[in-house]
Structure 1
Amino acid sequence: MSKQIPFRYDFVGSFLRPANLKAAREGFENGKISAYELKAVEDKEIERLINKQKELGYHVITDGEFRRATWHLDFMWGFDGVAHEKTKTGLPFHGEDAMIDDTYLCGKVGLSKVHPFVEHFKFVKQFEDENTVAKQTIPAPAQFIEQMIMPFALENTSKYYDSTHKLAEDIANGYKKVIADLYDAGCRNLQLDDCSWGMLVDPRAEELFGTDKKGLKDIQELLVEINNLAIEDKPNDMTITTHVCRGNFHSTYASAGAYDSVAEVLFEKENVDAYYLEFDDERSGGFEPLAHVNGDKKVVLGLITTKSPKLENKADVIARIKEAQKYIFLDRLCLSPQCGFASCEIGNKLTEEEQWAKLQLVKEIAEEVWR
């Protein structure tokens, strides 16, 4: 068995939080239980999750992001120079606001200690066996810098940085330490989750970023620059992939748009080993941009949605895989859900049983297509 992601049937990484974990988190926040008691619940539920991942026959295991409130912000909070507070307005998603903490700079970005996610990984690592490898998911550096340069954040960010490239350098250096520490902890499979490209392809992108078409091109170059800078020193036997989507909160989305306008930069210039790509509905456009995925990089087609409990038709999914083959060889393709099942604690609108049924379908289709 290969020890490197992606696998023919794979998943992005986050899973629905069990009710008792949600209750424990609430109890901790209300001062009713200790951090030690919360961790005990997290440990138990993560072990249960990993056993289920193995039972389904998957070759990758994760902690489901069970120790986080959100897929990205908790990671940023582990850095020096980053602060957060309960939001009053939330972030606008389609039909619903995501009430996640406002996160902003309070100083220069750095990492003077071992990031907490390294310990999170060590817990999962112990459950690896001859059939499975542990994957660590973290937000991409591009996601980090985007958080700090969007129009609503720029005034605050400018208190600490007069150069976007200096900010990028500091963020990338922090990531280099995280990657080195994860590697020392035994991590060989790292996934960078990245919604920044989804924002760039949205019809409202100029308004969202407060710029024009040329400005959007400059931002593309900044995002690929910071991602590549952060991973430039990675060891040869460490696989680094990226997941690109358009937002995932309570079965809603933040942006829409095909990959066409970012394909040349994202698929030709980003130095990752594979892309987990959202393709579950018309918001993602067609497969034509896959022709830009250069070298021997792989693509994991996110054709099964996590936003709805309805199971996809197997024949329809296989037909879409064949459509993708017009632009990239089948041996460079894999299959997964389009995103995680719970990018934030609230989770998407489906049950755990429906979650497992989605993953069973992914596996069945992959085994039929890649015999």
Structure 2
Amino acid sequence: MVSSLHRNPPFRAEHLGSLLRTDSLLKKRAEVDEGRVSRSKLTAIEDEDIQEIVRLQKELGYSAITDGEYRRHMFWGSFFPDLKGFVEIKEPDVEIFRPYMPDIAAFIESNYKPGESVICVGKIRHVGSTYVDQFKFLASLVTPGEIKNIKLTLAAPNWYHMRYKEGRAYPGDVYASDDEYFADIAKAYQAELRILYYAGCRNVQFDDPNFAYFCSEKMIAGWKTDPLNKCSVDDLLDKYIRLYNDCLAERPFDLHVGIHVCRGNFVNSRHFSEGGYDRIAMKLFQHLNIDTYYLEYDTPRAGGFEPLAYLPKHKNVILGVVTSKFPEIEDKEVMKKRVMAAIEFIAKGNQETAEESSKRVGVSPQCGFASHSSGNSVTRDDMIAKLKLVREIADEIWPGEP
């Protein structure tokens, strides 16, 4: 399936959605959670801080502007909790999770109990968008011509499936199989995307740590030794790709869709999974009906650029060569050389020139700066310095492009 992009070439400099919150925003959210102040008090601060972060993004030269995910506690937001058939559970029993999933393994190792999760308890149905008001407010802060570029981040449709032990993702008397469960998940996303599109949204990005888990040898070994699992790792990857494609089956031709394959953020900027994209590259790039891939390439744990040879000519890749986890500033010249090296692999795989391949490439930080509201181990000044560096790398490789 050849996608029709609403923007081609891609934006040369992007960021991955979440940005550091102010202390006042974090404090007010805590007060709301504790029941000490009304939600309206928090909304007022969110509005103010979003206006400021939009101003900053414009000042730094970014076109795919986000609201920093300031209305969310975690990167996935409120989509699943507000679907009929799902409930949010506080301090879930760790026994319901697959212990070899990289994020769960990190929690267990750190003696950290997940604060919340969302689980299916009945038939799934979309009953209203919780994202659309976030989009509308963001759209009100840019010019009419910029609305098509602003970016809304979405929860991965497989997020509340892979982490649960076999038989725990949904009740067996509600759904007889993964196929039935996924069919209703897909319908819910189709409804959400339809609402967002009619509101003017033309640019969405799925944030998906699970695809990176398929690159983890530890996860794969755990999966193979788990007697409860009914399918192979490769079959599960195929299921998730079909799920995404079903979620996007009704999208309009001018709705741009990206996916960030994330290795996770945890306390003290800890990552979750390791492993190169080699195991999943062909299926990820050629079978998944996505326009742009946002890939983490800030450390050796992501492997080499060789898998990019599978990227088709009609798709884009944004290379996350600058880390968002730590304050140390990368050497700009080294980063530019890495980007050019990646382009060479894309060109070789497509039997085209590096100049041709370069048209479908951009740069970004490897992840957001605050996948969880408390943020990574960087300050606001560090974040700004990183965003400036990304913009400078892009400007020097692709002069004059957005």
TM-score if structure 2 supplies the norm length?
Answer: 0.86
Shift of 1:193: 1.0
Task: Please tell me whether residue 249 in structure 1 is matched to residue 266 in structure 2.
Answer: yes
Question: Would the aligned equivalents of 2:13 and 2:364 in 1 still touch at CA under 8 Å?
Answer: yes
Which residue of the partner structure matches residue 346 of structure 1?
A: 374
Question: Would the aligned equivalents of 1:151 and 1:208 in 2 still touch at CA under 8 Å?
Answer: no
After superposing the two structures, state which structure 1 stretch, 174-183 or 202-211, moved more: 202-211
Which residue of the partner structure matches residue 226 of structure 1?
A: 243
Which of residues 266, 270, 287 is equivalent to 1:269? 287
Q: Return the alpha-carbon distance in structure 2 between the equivalents of residues 208 and 70 of structure 1.
A: 27
Which residue of the partner structure matches residue 280 of structure 1?
A: 298
Question: Would the aligned equivalents of 1:4 and 1:188 in 2 still touch at CA under 8 Å?
Answer: no
Which of residues 249, 253, 257 is equivalent to 1:236? 253
SS in structure 1 opposite 2:85?
strand
Aligned-residue RMSD, C-alpha? 2.2
Cα offsets for 1:274-316 (capped at 9, x unmatched): 1000111011101111111113100000000011111101011
Which residue of the partner structure matches residue 12 of structure 2?
A: 8
SS in structure 2 opposite 1:301?
strand
Identity over aligned residues, as a percent? Answer: 35
Q: Return the alpha-carbon distance in structure 1 between the equivalents of residues 331 and 166 of structure 2.
A: 42
Count of residues paired in the alignment: 367
Task: Please tell me whether residue 198 in structure 1 is matched to residue 198 in structure 2.
Answer: no
Which residue of the partner structure matches residue 47 of structure 1?
A: 51
Question: Would the aligned equivalents of 1:249 and 1:342 in 2 still touch at CA under 8 Å?
Answer: no
Which residue of the partner structure matches residue 140 of structure 2?
A: 126
Q: Return the alpha-carbon distance in structure 1 between the equivalents of residues 370 and 313 of structure 2.
A: 32
Q: Return the alpha-carbon distance in structure 1 between the equivalents of residues 37 and 126 of structure 2.
A: 29
Q: Return the alpha-carbon distance in structure 1 between the equivalents of residues 363 and 129 of structure 2.
A: 31
Which residue of the partner structure matches residue 158 of structure 2?
A: 142
Which residue of the partner structure matches residue 67 of structure 1?
A: 71
Task: Please tell me whether residue 76 in structure 1 is matched to residue 80 in structure 2.
Answer: yes
SS in structure 2 opposite 1:64?
coil
Q: Kindly tell me: are residues 279 and 157 of structure 1, through their superposed partners in 2, closer, same or farther at Cα, counting changes over 3 Å?
A: farther
Shift of 1:100: 3.6
SS in structure 1 opposite 2:359?
helix
Structure 2 portions without partners, runs of 5+: 95-103, 347-356
After superposing the two structures, state which structure 1 stretch, 328-337 or 207-216, moved more: 207-216
Q: Return the alpha-carbon distance in structure 2 between the equivalents of residues 334 and 153 of structure 1.
A: 41
Which residue of the partner structure matches residue 154 of structure 1?
A: 168
Q: Return the alpha-carbon distance in structure 2 between the equivalents of residues 187 and 131 of structure 1.
A: 11
Question: Would the aligned equivalents of 1:273 and 1:297 in 2 still touch at CA under 8 Å?
Answer: yes
Question: Would the aligned equivalents of 2:161 and 2:169 in 1 still touch at CA under 8 Å?
Answer: no
Which of residues 101, 121, 125 is equivalent to 2:116? 101
Q: Return the alpha-carbon distance in structure 2 between the equivalents of residues 208 and 273 of structure 1.
A: 32
Which residue of the partner structure matches residue 324 of structure 1?
A: 342
Q: Return the alpha-carbon distance in structure 2 between the equivalents of residues 193 and 54 of structure 1.
A: 23
Which of residues 20, 27, 30 is equivalent to 1:26? 30
SS in structure 1 opposite 2:279?
helix
Cα offsets for 1:74-106 (capped at 9, x unmatched): 321121111122226674438744744122112
Question: Would the aligned equivalents of 1:4 and 1:189 in 2 still touch at CA under 8 Å?
Answer: no
Structure 1 portions without partners, runs of 5+: none
Q: Return the alpha-carbon distance in structure 2 between the equivalents of residues 46 and 259 of structure 1.
A: 34
Q: Kindly tell me: are residues 157 and 284 of structure 1, through their superposed partners in 2, closer, same or farther at Cα, counting changes over 3 Å?
A: farther
Which residue of the partner structure matches residue 101 of structure 2?
A: none
SS in structure 2 opposite 1:255?
coil
Question: Would the aligned equivalents of 2:282 and 2:310 in 1 still touch at CA under 8 Å?
Answer: yes
Moved over 6 A (4+): 211-214
Cα offsets for 1:185-241 (capped at 9, x unmatched): 110001111111111111122355447897011011001000000011111111111
Q: Partner letter of residue 106 of structure 2?
A: F
Q: Kindly tell me: are residues 187 and 131 of structure 1, through their superposed partners in 2, closer, same or farther at Cα, counting changes over 3 Å?
A: closer
